[in-house]
Amino acid sequence: MIHSGEEREVAAYERHVSRNTCDYHYLKVGLEFEGTRPGFRLNAAHFKHLIVSALKDLHGEIGAALPVDLLRFEEETLTAILRVKSSGLVKLWSALTLLGSYQNEKCAFRVTQVSPFLLALSGNSREFVLN
């Protein structure tokens, strides 16, 4: 279409998709039991074993080989900070979500925070209180 002797330009649209370039994701998780036996203790090694077992149950030997680092573990509250390669985040999260018991005790992992930045897990805006 020609207007006043000039050719009109057609607008060109480009789609840009940026992917997260972070190598790792960090998860803050807690383990909750329905009822605990007196004297029941769970140390960091048992906690890590439970995570690997959950991965193996859901994803087989390949899932159990997923490198998951236990960066921090609080034995009193059964909470931890985990680090996993970003490519394995969905596998880890699904395995934790579907875990239902440990040593015949009903339990559940609660994923409270996830971020590609460890610093983001240092605070929780839902628990922030202004004075």
Chain segment 2-14, per-residue pLDDT in tens: 555 566 677 788 8
Statement: residue 120 has pLDDT above 70: yes
Q: Which residues contact 90 (CB under 8 A, 6 or more apart)?
A: none
Mean pLDDT of the chain: 88
pLDDT at residue 117, rounded to an integer: 93
pTM: 0.78
> Domain total for the chain?
1
Q: State how far the alpha carbon of 120 is from the alpha carbons of 12, 18, 123, 127, in Å.
A: 38, 21, 7, 14
Domain range spanning residue 79?
Answer: 24-114
* CATH number, position 41: 3.30.70.3250
pLDDT at residue 71, rounded to an integer: 97
Residue 124, domain member (yes or no):
no
